[in-house]
Chain A
Amino acid sequence: GAVVSQHPSWVICKSGTSVKIECRSLDFQATTMFWYRQFPKQSLMLMATSNEGSKATYEQGVEKDKFLINHASLTLSTLTVTSAHPEDSSFYICSARGVGRADTQYFGPGTRLTVL
Chain B
Amino acid sequence: GENVEQHPSTLSVQEGDSAVIKCTYSDSASNYFPWYKQELGKRPQLIIDIRSNVGEKKDQRIAVTLNKTAKHFSLHITETQPEDSAVYFCAAINMDSNYQLIWGAGTKLIIKP
Contacts and interface: CB of A to CB of B under 8 A. Distances in A.
Q: Do A and B come from one complex?
A: yes
Interface in B84-113: 89, 93, 95, 99-101, 103-106, 108
Contact of A46 (B41, B100, B106): B100
Q: How large is the interface on B (under 10, 10 to 19, 20 to 34, 35 or more residues)?
A: 20 to 34
Contacts of B41: 91, 110, 112
Given A43-B89, A103-B93, A110 B103 contact: no
Main secondary structure of the interface of B (DSSP, over half): loop
A107 B43 contact: yes
Contacts of B89: 43-44
Contacts of A104: 34, 46, 49
Query: Which of B49, B95, B101, B108: most chain A Cβ within 10 A?
Result: B101
B99 A32 contact: yes
A91 B108 CA distance: 18
A42 interface: yes
Given A107-B43, A109-B42, 15 more contacts: A42-B105, A43-B105, A43-B106, A44-B44, A44-B103, A46-B100, A46-B103, A91-B41, A102-B95, A103-B93, A104-B34, A104-B49, A105-B46, A107-B45, A110-B43
Interface of A: 32, 34, 41-44, 46, 49, 91, 93, 97, 102-105, 107-110, 112
17 contacts: A32-B99, A34-B101, A41-B106, A43-B105, A43-B106, A44-B44, A44-B101, A46-B101, A46-B103, A103-B32, A104-B34, A104-B46, A104-B49, A105-B46, A105-B101, A107-B43, A108-B43
